[in-house]
Structure 1
Amino acid sequence: MFGRLLSFEPDATGVTVKFEHKEGRISFITDRIVRVYSSMEEKHRPSRAVVQEPKKVDFQARQQKEFITIKTKKLLVRVRDEFQVDFLTPDGRMISEQSVRSDNTQTITKEQAELLAKEGHSLPKEKEAHKFEVVRMLHPKEHIYGLGDKTGFLDKRGYAYEMWNSDIPDTHADFFPSLYKSVPFFISMRPHFTYGIFLDNTSKSYFDMGKEDADSYYFAADGGDLDYYFIAGETMRDIVGAYTGLTGRTALPQKWTLGYHQSRWGYITEDDIMDVAEKMRQCRIPCDSIHFDIDYMDAFKVFTWNRKNYKDPKKTLQKLTEMGYKPVTIIDPGVKKEDGYDVYEEGIKNGYFAFSAENELYVNEVWPGDAVFPSFTNPKVRSWWADKQKFLIDMGVRGVWNDMNEPASFKGPLPDDVQFADEDDTVILHKDAHNIYGHCMAMATKEGWLKYDGRRPFIITRAAYAGTQRYSMFWTGDNQSIWAHLQMAIPQLCNLGLSGFSYAGTDVGGFGADTTKELLARWVQVGCLSPFFRNHSAQGTRRQEPWQFDKELLEIYRKYVELRYHLLPYIYDCFFESEQTGLPIMRPLMLNFEKDAETYEINDEFMVGEWLIAAPVVTQGTTMRLVYLPEGAMWYDFWTGEKYKGGQYITKKAPLDTMPLFVRAGAVLPLYPLMQYVGEKEVEDLTLAVYPGIGNYIHYQDDGESFAYKKGGYNAYVFSQNNGRLQIKDAVKNYEKPYKGFYVKICRDGVTALSDVSGEYLKHEE
């Protein structure tokens, strides 16, 4: 494609390399982040993901015999014929070497194909011709992480995926090539070297991580430009921090959003909603939000309310608010094609909807029947959609849940040549807009909530692209009430976190099919420590509110929802730090213990921040499980206070009401008193659970909903301890309601964080 290397020309930000047939460019964002680019299209479209401006990077470019070298303080880039690019350390050690793709495509005879077809088996794919592909060598001990919400296990080596946002109703299995989100970013880790690669291409793209050839991986795309970023670093934390610096970070959410959310497709009337709201309070299950699925709308028309089933929706929402709930409503992108319907009429008048290749209004079918699709890729359309949020805000809604925004449709997928308006009023075809459709819808939604509500927006999206974390949080879509999906939830959420999506969760209990008592009990144990904690299920499935089974299940469910509310200040602190560092809240063990090779492929444990390890049961009938505690630390059992040395497997009893949970020695965990919802009571005294060891911890305190923290409007307390001797310092003192004092509990055998409500009291000295 490129041919022989001919010459190069350096400038202030990088090097343009000339080949026989095309040009390529190597440029620098930082001395660790390299952009590799070549134009493949007539029109270059600005990135929807990258927000970091390039820094001034000193580099030296030199012509060698068969290649050129470009060297910074942190990285050496080597460019060869055919625009093959290698990345090395400054002293010449290979980090990642480009190669060529071997042809390992399976061939079968005509007779074999006929036999496979008769039994309904799919045929092996032929080798596809992509617009471009980049092949890189795999080290024998290389591990691959990230790639967003893809199915399967934590380590993506040996899998192949496609980046094409897809609403697939079948039960999601390990071999699924794509799901709802396209995050073309991964992290590679092998002995002595760690790096990341982000392919910033919104067309359909492909990532084969050693499935076709065990010695190499490749990424490719069917359209768009060759445009990828190589990120070098000493650790995985460096890579995650650099990638989220490049594409943006999850902002600190309102504190109530970190509470428990109850939802179901099937709360059809105001009586249904109020029954759930009242039962939650009666059963003493803490809950901050009830979600309204599509049934609240009038004939599934967006920005309407069903006045038949809700006689006075504003009054209903006000009553929920008085009970401590924050209502959240679903919104789909499909606008009903109906004369006289104001949203449709306005969109038609202004040309805000997609058109077919023949320049006719494009119509497909979604929940309201025949529907049209806004061109969210255009800023005028986004501003119009933003203004529509005012209808919900004025009604008393506190958050929006964007669904069906792949975009999904009932009469087959949107054709590749459907036309959307782009940023500059030119046309962008569906094949290039598809993967950013949900991203741009989230942009529009956030714009409206900032304009009309003013607090930190709470926006959920199903479909997303790299960088959508700047606008929204996420859930993993339509999972099923099966054990395999509980098992998959942990690596799926951990890889989303490594991909920049810090605020994410799964539907607790499973969305489709019928959950069981045991499955729901085990799922709430995972959910209570996931960043987003919501029970959601489908119409026609078994109800899975906490009281739908028996007293034992209700008590187990309450125990773990209460645990979530006790740990809220810790989780909120994790989010505060995530906005600054990009590090996820829910993490695979190896992110914190990268030197411990035993952590690299643990799929059934996870960490919450720096200090907690959860080892949930994810298999039916299991009441005892093996737990690995990473080396380099001592660990306390959260429930018993028992102490363990790291670097070993231990066996823990795990009856149905117990999820093994461990705290790293040196931790100081802030705990809230029990509440039924965030803000039910003022927290004047904070409980500190101290786990003897050596450690420092920063706790943040603010109003929990405004943007004042961005201007320093918060308090920051530094808790330092040395084997139980605690020091408390005020690092920042800008919030008007500091704690009056602290209850300090020293945790040890038989004394745990939750064994009583208080400990030694220390008055806070201003």
Structure 2
Amino acid sequence: MPKIPYKTEKEDEEDYEIVSFEDFCDKSPTAKADLLTLNDNINYRLFFESGKENKCNESGAASASGASEIQTETSLNGSKASHKRKIPFAPFGKSDKARRGSLFSGVIPKARIDGDVREHRYERFSSNQGCLNRWLEQAGTLLPGMLVAGLLCALGVATWWAVAGALGGGWGDDHYRRLWERVHPEEVKKPLTPLTLEKPVITEYRYHDHNNLSTKNRSNATDNKKKEVKKGFLEHSPEVMKELCARIVDDDLRFDCYPQFGANEEGCVKRGCCWKVTDTQNAPYCFYPPQYETYQFVNSTENKHGMTVYYSRSYDTGYPGQFSVARIDFNYLSNEILQIKISDAEHKRFEPAYPEVPMVFNSVSEMKYRVQVDSSAVGFKVVRNSDNVTIWDAQNTGGMILSDKFLQFSAILPTNYTYGLGEKQDRFLNDLNWKTHTIFNNDQPPTENVHLYGSHPFYLALETNGNSHGVILLNSNAMDIVLQPTPAITYRTIGGVLNFYMFLGPSPSDVVAQYTEIIGKPFMPPYWALGFHLCKYNYGSLNVTRDVWQKNRDAGIPFDVQWNDLDYMSKGNDFTYDTDKFSGFPDFVKTVHEAGMHYVLLFDPGVSASEKPGEYPPFDRGLEMDIFVKNSTDQPFVGKVWNRISTVWPDFTHPNTTAYWKEMMADFHRKVNFDGAWIDMNEPSNFLSGSMYGECTPEELPYKPISIAAEGLKHKTLCMDAKHHAGAHYDIHNLYAITEAVATNSALAEIRGKRPLIISRASSPGLGHFAGHWSGDVFSKWHDLKASIPQLLSFSLFGVPLMGADICGFIGDTTPELCKRWMQLGAFYPFSRNHNSDTAKPQDPVSMGESVVDASRTALRMRYRLLPYYYTLFWRAHIDSATVARPLFFEFPQDPRVYSIDTQFLIGDHIMITGILEEGANSTNVFYPGPNPWYSFNTGKQLAVDSWRSIGDDEMVAVRGGSILVLQEPPVKGPVNTGNTRSLPLQILIAPDTVGVASGELYWDDGDSLNSYEEKKYTHIVFKVKENELTSSIQWWGYGVPSINKIKVFAQNPIKTVTVNNAAATFSYDQKTRVLTILNINVNLDRSLSVKWTIQKMTQKT
């Protein structure tokens, strides 16, 4: 219930109710009179369209004549008014049920007993009026003559109401928002009302004013109440504290009590913590004592779908706005997925709208986990049921710090092997030596120990028995995540709630599949997107672009997509092209299409703000539609990126921005028929570190993530007090890229009517459902070549399979040797693109010389042969959340020897890629795990079984025993792309395991249409080999598949006969490599296939 002025303490808030406009109109005149005196509770700033009639015009209650004002959006985000006409004032909201329910009308007293007349207990607007009102109420039954005075008072109040209405009212947006949500509970989350507490807690929604980043003199309303604070560690005697602290013997068991810079003994002791200097590197000097209980258990309840636990605050931790009552919801979403949500039980806090998490409870008949809550301590444990291993032990780990702008939570893990947490440049296996990972989208070329473009607070943990689990924290605020050698993890975030999802696997592949069930399965890319891409920042002209495109095609480089960076634009402005330097651009794109290829262009989110009215439609229309991010004064926030003078940013959380973005893209697409969108600079990046006009609100926070502390949150981005439709930039920053990706995906799908290709630099959980990613502005160094593999594997964990690095590097000049090795490796990235900066020399294969051309052509032809396999893997990712690129431990989770390997990676479960990653080397050592043999993809020669081996250039691609691959040989001569390859015959490669068994599959559709799988316009075939026979089984036939013209079988003894569908077939056999090749066949796959071969009997020499 909103605050009711001058209500006596004896009166219960339940004696009042909020009345909607429709209900008001149906009430008696007396009840209406009750309402009309409640002037404070009417939103005078609300505007509605002038053409609609007021439901209550006959009563005169619902209009305020003579007052009008120009407005484009209500304070409650209600109906929008055109900027071209004035809108009449309306103190009461009119209902438009197609879009939303009506707004509130006001607060009136309830009847004391059913059937009683409502008491006239009016709200007044000064203390004198309030006293007069109460006196009138009490005297009404004694002095009927006082009715005249009451009428005069009401007349005065009505006059005040009319004047206030003309002035626009005086209460703030948050107040009206809270009142509106009380009337419309179906449109907001239900208040988090605790169960039975020691004292009743009246729930109140409190929207945190993150536009005010100061913590000075800030506290919860509950902080000002006089409450009994239970005894805490601050009251322990020095002797008791000494004894408690002495219990922490192992430095690895210390949980940091003073994470801010400048930790000292005096401050540590004031926090009730232990101070002890240690020689252990990076271990904290200030740490929590045992049983540091910031909260105490109140009560809990459990049903088949979960459990809710309440804790009350034990004492003040010193952080402003500490939660008085904490609530933990354990939601059993499925047998494998557990949600753990830690929130403020008394106030609503910001929660990100992306990713859109499906809250559907599946059957939980055989849960893989159980939750243990000890009422004598703060925290909980999550235990795996199959082996009783504690996955998370969050008891006795420093309690929980829960406050307005600092939330901290720690848990002990069951293993030292963890992966994920990014975006970062580092080894794939996480370092647990007190390593801090800052999570905050940042325009930063990849270097170690720095937070990069994306925010992914997800980790996967692997135990030595092969069991795995994963955890995502769905919180969009800036945060630090600390890993320590306990092993343990600590989360520190500066806003929102702690909304964890835990995935119990048990295999690593299961964990990722369960994770993407929550954040969204990867999108299905078009087939051509799996080809090779070529780009450079600042080709400088269309002539240079055309020349590079033609030379690489003529050299036989398999090549599908030409790109342009922002140098194609006029003045660096989106949705334009330079008609001088890129004269004839639309015709060139048409030529590319006629060659069976595609074109991708860059689109930055920043829109130029300096063009004159009528000269630049993206800015004009953005102003008209009111879709730009605002500053603290509700004007468009102005910064600077590539535009010549100034920049504004679309607010992709605004309901009008999707239409705006689609309109801009469609207008430009009619000029230049591009096929895909490259969305860059969307952290969002800003060259000014704040606003061009005015200053950002000071970031006076109780804690800043470690990598941000020196330069602040605004560094190279927008002010944190900038305003989006969905909240402050403080909360929205990490969501900017995914909201842009959603809008871009929707726009391209509608404009082209085909599958979109979108590659984004910044990212957050759920991006892979809409776009792919590249690792940004990497350096042309051997270190970055090697680091590209852990980055690729991390994004496989994050649910973004279409990922790769700029081949040969972006920043700086590459060398022929480095570029050759990078092309040999990058040819097999799921997203394969060569791209570099404007200041570096050209590095497309032809520009780098003959050695790079030869290596590139060889590696890319292998990739194009494998494209049917890649495409099938992306289909599996799309429907089953499988990974495309994956670490070795995904297939061999019980082999600790592979846990730290990040110089090799798998493509699916059949192919392993290894690069030569050291300067001057001609070979590299490779580990071939598992009991089955690995074969050279090129020759079929057996390489190794469960052992290490040194390999050279021709053995960088290996096939796992037990695999069947469907391949497609590209044209031998002339340009190569997917357009002239997809119609050619297919081949089958069989690599049997130790007992001669193998399996594989093929998914095939037209490669470009929307919803091919959902509309059954595809074909799926499963292949199996057993006892020297290959068979096929059609799972679904809905699209034509090329015929088979050749089959290869590895690891065979000399062959006697071969039949294909019972007819004798031509074959050859290589005794050196032991490869059988079945030649000159033309077999359609629209019916079952049977290929048999027999082995020559070995005759014993006498």
TM-score normalised according to structure 2 size: 0.63
The alpha-carbon distance between structure 1 residues 164 and 36, as it changes in their structure 2 partners (threshold 3 A), is same
Q: Is contact 2:779-2:810 (8 Å) kept?
A: yes
Match of 2:767 in 1: 468
Structure-2 change in CA distance of 1:665 and 1:191 (3 Å)? closer
C-alpha distance in structure 2 between counterparts of 1:38 and 1:416, whole Å: 28
Aligned equivalents of 1:252 and 1:230: distance in 2?
26
Distance 1:99 1:605 in 2: 39
SS across alignment from 2:590:
helix
Counterpart in the other structure of 1:117 = none
How far the C-alpha of 1:442 sits from its partner, in A, is 0.4
Whether the 8 Å CA contact 2:970–2:981 is kept in 1: the answer is no
Residue of structure 2 equivalent to 1:330 = 602
> Which residue of the partner structure matches residue 301 of structure 1?
573
1:403 corresponds to which residue? Answer: 680
Residue equivalent to 1:663: 959
Aligned residue number for residue 637 of structure 2? 362
Question: Which of 315, 319, 328 in structure 2 is aligned with 1:24?
Answer: 328
Q: Say whether 1:137 aligns with 2:436.
A: no
Separation in structure 2 between the aligned mates of residue 29 and residue 7 of structure 1, nearest angstrom: 22
The alignment status of 1:188 with 2:484, answered yes or no, reads: no
Q: Which amino acid aligns with 2:878?
A: E
3-state SS in 2 of match to 1:284: coil
Which whole-Å CA distance do the structure 1 matches of 2:1074 and 2:1014 have between them?
33
Aligned residue for 1:465, secondary structure, equals: coil
SS in 1 for 2:468: strand
Distance in 1, matches of 2:475 and 2:514, equals 19
Deviation at 1:476, TM superposition (A): 0.7
Amino acid at match of 1:234: P
Q: Quick check: 301-310 or 436-445, which moved more?
A: 301-310
After superposition, what is the alpha-carbon deviation per residue over 1:724-757, rounded to whole angstroms, capped at 9, x for unaligned? 531122221111x233334111234968999999
Cα-to-partner distance string for 1:432-467 (whole Å, 9 max, x where unaligned)? 111000110001101101211111110110011100
Question: What corresponds to 1:125 in structure 2?
Answer: none
Secondary structure at the aligned position of 2:341 is classed as strand
In structure 2, C-alpha distance between the alignment counterparts of 1:184 and 1:746, rounded to whole Å? 44
- Report the 3-state secondary structure (helix = DSSP H, G, I; strand = E; otherwise coil) of the residue aligned with 1:315: helix
1:220-619 correspondence to structure 2 within 5 Å: 220-337=492-609, 338-340=611-613, 341-368=616-643, 369-394=645-670, 395-412=672-689, 413-423=716-726, 428-619=727-918
Aligned match of 1:53: 359
Q: 1:25 to 1:719 in 2, by over 3 A?
A: same
C-alpha distance in 1 between matches for 2:801 and 2:358 = 19
Pair 1:95-2:371 in alignment: no
What SS does the aligned partner of 2:687 have?
coil
Seen in structure 2, the aligned counterparts of structure 1 residues 604 and 524 have a Cα distance that, compared at 3 Å, is same
Aligned equivalents of 1:710 and 1:438: distance in 2?
Answer: 27
Shift of 1:380: 1.5
TM-superposed CA distance for 1:48, in Å, is: 0.7
SS at 1:521 equivalent: helix
Q: Structure 2 CA distance, aligned partners of 1:255 and 1:475?
A: 18
Which residue number in structure 1 is paired with residue 482 of structure 2?
A: 208
Per mean C-alpha deviation after superposition, the further-off stretch among 6-15 and 478-487 is 6-15
For residues 288-336 of structure 1, the C-alpha deviation after alignment (integer angstroms, 9 at most, x for no partner) is 1110100111101111111111223221211121223211000001110
Contact 1:502 1:583 in 2 (8 A): no
Q: Secondary structure at the match of 1:272?
A: helix
2:636 aligned counterpart, secondary structure: coil
Distance in structure 2 (CA, Å) of the matches to 1:215 and 1:597: 17
Q: Secondary structure at the match of 1:564?
A: helix
Show the 5 A alignment for 1:653-732: 654=952, 657-658=953-954, 660-675=956-971, 676-693=976-993, 694-706=997-1009, 707-722=1011-1026, 724-732=1028-1036
1:110 counterpart residue number = none
Aligned-pair CA distance for 1:12:
6.0
1:395-440 CA distances to partner (integer Å, 9 max, x unpaired)?
A: 21000000000000111134543333335xxxx1111111000110
Give how far 1:99 is off.
4.4
CA 550–751 in structure 1, closer or farther in 2 if over 3 Å, else same: farther
CA distance in 2, matches of 1:509, 1:644: 28
Partner amino acid for 2:382?
F
- Does residue 85 of the first structure (1) align with residue 375 of the second (2)? no
1:357-388 deviations in whole A, cap 9, x for unaligned? Answer: 23332111100031011111223212211222
Q: Indicate the residue corresponding to 2:1044 in structure 1.
A: 741
Distance, in Å, in 2 between the alignment partners of 1:434 and 1:464 is 11
Name the aligned partner's letter for residue 51 of structure 1: V
Q: Which amino acid aligns with 1:689?
A: L
Counterpart contact for 2:381–2:394, Cα < 8 Å: yes
Uncovered stretches (5+) of structure 1, i.e. residues with no partner = 60-71, 104-127
Query: How far apart are the structure 2 equivalents of 1:642 and 1:165?
Result: 46
User: Please, which moves more after superposition, 143-152 or 240-249?
Assistant: 143-152
How many Å apart are 1:195 and its aligned residue?
A: 0.9
Partner AA of 1:8 in structure 2 = S
Shift in CA distance, 450/196, structure 1 to aligned 2, threshold 3 Å: same
Secondary structure at the counterpart of residue 460 of structure 1: strand
Q: Residue 9 of structure 1 is aligned with which of 301, 307, 315?
A: 301
Aligned counterparts of 1:732 and 1:508: Cα–Cα separation in 2: 38
Instruction: Give, in whole Å, the separation in 1 of the partners of 2:806 and 2:409.
Output: 36
Which one-letter code corresponds to 2:680 in the other structure?
Answer: D
Q: 1:346 is matched by which residue type in structure 2? A: R
Counterparts of 2:815 and 2:1072 in 1: how far apart (Å)? Answer: 31
1:243 deviates by 0.3
Q: Secondary structure at the match of 1:450?
A: helix
**In 2: Cα distance, 1:641 partner to 1:740 partner:** 23
Per the TM alignment, residue 580 of structure 1 is displaced from its structure 2 partner at its CA by 2.0
C-alpha separation between the residues in 2 aligned to 1:433 and 1:261? 32
Aligned to 1:67: none
Q: Residue by residue, what CA displacement relative to the aligned partner does 1:669-696 show, whole Å, maximum 9, x if unpaired?
A: 1111214111215535211111133122
Root-mean-square deviation over aligned CA pairs? 2.4
Report the CA distance between 1:709 and its aligned residue: 2.3
Structure 1 or 2, whichever has the larger Rg, is 2
Distance 1:527 1:433, change over 3 A: same
Residues of 1 paired with 2:820 and 2:859: CA distance? 9
What's the offset of the Cα at 1:78?
A: 1.3
Bigger RCO (CA 8 Å, 6+ sep): 1
2:464/2:896 contact within 8 Å kept: no
CA contact (8 A) 1:573 1:700 kept: yes
Give the structure 2 partner of residue 76 of structure 1. 370
The 3-state SS of whatever aligns with 1:379 is coil
- 1:551 corresponds to which letter in structure 2? E
| Residues 474 and 505, structure 1, Cα contact 8 Å, conserved in 2 | yes
Distance 2:679 2:1073 in 1: 38
Cα distance, 1:510 vs structure 2: 0.4
Residues 143 and 189, structure 1, Cα contact 8 Å, conserved in 2? yes
Query: Could you tell me the percent identity over the aligned residues?
Result: 25
Q: What letter is aligned with 1:343?
A: P
8 Å CA contact retained: 1:355, 1:418: no
Shift in Å, 1:639? 2.8
Deviations, residues 549-581 of structure 1 (Å, cap 9, x unaligned): 322221111111111111111111111111122
Q: CA deviation at 1:391?
A: 2.8
Check conservation: 1:640, 1:751, Cα contact below 8 A.
no
Count of residue pairs the alignment pairs up: 716
Change (3 A) 1:488 1:681: closer
Task: Name the amino acid aligned to 2:612.
Answer: D
Counterparts in 2 of 1:754 and 1:472: CA distance versus 1, 3 Å: farther
Q: Distance in 2 between matches of 1:754 and 1:686?
A: 22
Matched, 1:625 2:924: yes
